[in-house]
Chain A
C-alpha cells in the first residue's frame, strides 16, 4: 500500500455510510445423532444484515440497539474492516474499511465491552505507552489525551496496577482511556457498560457525553440497557432481525411505542379498574397497565378514590425495556419470512 494511503486523513462529513448492506452467516446445526452429525452435517443460513441503509454524520451520538443476534456486532465488524459485506457499500469516515484499514484505524477508536486491548500481564501504564508506540502518537497529543483520560476516568489510582488485577469497571475505564490516546474522531463502542455497577456506568456515560459535546467526537454505541442509550444518544437506530426497524430521536421512539403507564394500588383485595389491565399482584400491591390516551389520569384516580381500603397509589411510566421488548415482538411478527 502506498504511504499516502497509509496516512490518508482527508476530511470527512459522514462517519458511516452503509448502502444496501447485506451479510449472511452459515451456522452449523447439530442434533443428538452422532453419526448423522458426522456424515451429514447440517447448516442454516442466518441473515445478520438485510439491505441495511445507514448514514451517520460527523458529530452525531448514535445509539445502536437490538436484541441478541439482531446484527449489531456484525455492523461494527463491517465498519472496522474485520469482515466484508456480501453486498452493498460500506464506508467509514469516507474510507473503505477492508481496503483502507490502516488509515481508517488512525482515525477511529474501537472498544468491545467483553474484549480488552490492555496488556494482561503488564501495568495499565504499559498499555498506554504501547498504544503511543504502535499508533505513532505525537508527544503533545498523547500528553493531552492522557491527562484528559486520567482526570475524567479517574485512572491515576491504578495506572501502575497489573491489568489482570483490575476490577471490571477499572478495566473498562482503562480500555476507554487507552482507546482515546490517538484522539479518534469517531468511536465505536460495543456494550461499553456491560457488567458495570451504577457508579462506573454513570462515569462512563458522563465521559462519553463530554467527548461528544466538547470534542465533537462522533459516537456509535450499542448497549442492552435502553435507559442508558436513551439518556446518552441524540438518535437511536434499532435493529430487528437484520433490518433497521427504527431510526430517530429517543422521543420519537417513545411516541411510536405509545406512552404506556403503570398504576400500583395498595389495598386488600384485587380491585377492578375500568380501562386498566392487571399485570400482577404481590401481597397487597396490585399493578395495572393503562393508556392515558384512553383512560385519563384524573378519571383513573377518581375510580381509585372510590375503592374501599386503598392505602397507597403509585403512578409511573412503563419501563422502556418492556416497551421495546413489545416493539421487537411486533416487528418480528411483521417481518417478512
Chain B
C-alpha cells in the first residue's frame, strides 16, 4: 500500500512537471491561458451571483451564502478539471475513440494511470484557486465559526462532490463500450449537465424534483446540499453522514461499471480509432 501511494505521488510529481513545461512554453501561451481561464471561471458563476445581489439572495439563501455555494461549486468542479487532462475523467472519449489500448501497454494498473495522467496542477488549477478564493471570502463575510473539524468537513465534502462528478461520468461511460461512436461524448454530456445545474439552489423546487436532482441525476450534490450542511441549514443532521456515503456509492458504482466495461473491451476490443495523439 505504501508503495502504491509513493508511486502515485511520484507520478503526480512527474505530470505536474510536464504540465508546468507545457504551461510555460512561451509568454504568449502563458498569458493567454491565465487570462482565459480566469475569465471563464468568473463568468461561469457571475450571472447567478448578480441575480442574488439584485434580489438580495436566491430562494432561502442570502447573497453571502450564495457566494459560499458558488465558491464550493467552483472549487469542486475546478478539481475535476484539474484531474481531467487528456480525457482521463471524460473516459467515454478514450473508450469510444479506441484509445484504451494506449493505457494497456503501460506497466501500471489502469486506475493509477487514470488517477495521475490527467493531473494538471498548473494549467488546470484556475477553477480550484478561484473557487477557494470565493469560499474563503464568503466564509469571512458570513463570520462562520471555523473550527478544524469544520475545515475537515469542508475538505471531505469537496472531495465527495468531486467523487460524485467522477463517478457519474464513469457510470454513463459504460455505454461507450457498447456503442463507441454514439457514446463517445457521453461523459462530457453528463459532466456538462451536472455542472450547468450544479450551482443552483434547489430549495424552491417541488419535492420530487429535489429528490431526483439529489439522487438519480445528483446535480444538487455538487454544491447545494453540501453547502446547506456546512452552513447548518440542512433539513436533517443525518445528511452529513448520508452525503459522504452517497458519494462513496456513486464512485463505487463508477468503478464497478468501468470494470464491467473493461471485461467487455477484452472480449470485443475496439474497431474504432481516432488518432492525433491519444491524449487530446
Chain B residue with Cβ nearest A7: B107
B269 touches A77 (CB 8 A): yes
Tell whether, in the assembled complex, residue B267 and residue A83 are in contact, meaning their CB atoms are under 8 Å apart.
yes
Which of B237-245, B252-260, B272-280 lies on the face that meets chain A?
Answer: B272-280
Of B97-105, B135-143, B152-160, the one touching chain A: B97-105
Instruction: Give the nearest-CB partner of A104 in chain B.
Output: B107
Q: What is the minimal beta-carbon distance from A48 to any residue of chain B, in angstroms?
A: 9
> A116 and B266: CB pair below 8 A?
no
Given A84-B267, A115-B101, A115-B273, also A102-B14 (CB < 8 A): no
- Asked if A80 meets B277 with Cβ closer than 8 Å, knowing A98-B266, A119-B18, A130-B14, the reply is no
Contacts of B3 in A (CB 8 A): 3
B204 on interface, CB distance cutoff 8 Å? no
The stretch that binds B, out of A13-21, A120-128, A225-233, A306-314, is A120-128
Q: CB-CB < 8 A to B280: which residues of A? A: 120-121
Is B54 part of the contact surface with A, judged by Cβ < 8 Å?
no
Q: In the complex the two chains form, is A133's CB within 8 Å of B102's CB?
A: no
- Contact partners of A126 in chain B: CB under 8 A: 18, 21
Contact between B269 and A133 (Cβ–Cβ < 8 Å)?
A: no
Q: A103 and B18: CB pair below 8 A? A: no
Is A106 positioned at the interface, with any CB of B under 8 Å from its CB? yes
Q: Are A103 and B104 in contact (CB under 8 A)?
A: no
The reply on A134 being an interface residue by CB < 8 A is: yes
A114 engages B275 (CB within 8 Å): yes
User: Are A120's CB and B266's CB within 8 A?
Assistant: no
B129 CB within 8 Å of chain A: no
Give complex CA distance A26, B268 in Å.
8
Residues of B near A135 (CB, < 8 A) are: 106-107
Docked pose: A257 CA to B84 CA in angstroms: 54
CB distance from B149 to the nearest CB of A (A): 37
For the complex formed, measure the closest distance between the CB of B176 and the CB atoms of chain A, giving whole angstroms: 16
B244 to chain A, nearest CB (A): 29
In this assembly, does B11 line the interface, its C-beta being within 8 Å of a C-beta of chain A?
A: yes
Expressed in whole angstroms, the Cα–Cα distance for A83 and B113 within the complex equals: 19
A residues 118-146 touching B (CB-CB < 8 Å) = 118-122, 126, 129-130, 133-136
A163 at the A/B interface (Cβ < 8 Å)?
yes
**Do A84 and B11 form a contact, CB below 8 Å, given A103-B107, A115-B278, A134-B108?**
no
> Does B11 contact A134, Cβ atoms closer than 8 Å?
yes
Q: Please give the distance in Å from B267's CB to the nearest CB on chain A.
A: 7
Cross-chain contact of B105 among A110, A114, A121, A130 (Cβ < 8 A): A110
CB distance from A214 to the nearest CB of B (A): 25
A residues at B contact (CB < 8 Å): 1, 3, 6, 25-27, 74, 77, 80-84, 98, 101-103, 105-106, 110, 112, 114-122, 126, 129-130, 133-136, 163-164
> Which 7 residue pairs of A and B lie closest in terms of their CB atoms, listed nearest first?
A120-B277, A105-B107, A133-B14, A83-B269, A84-B266, A106-B107, A110-B105
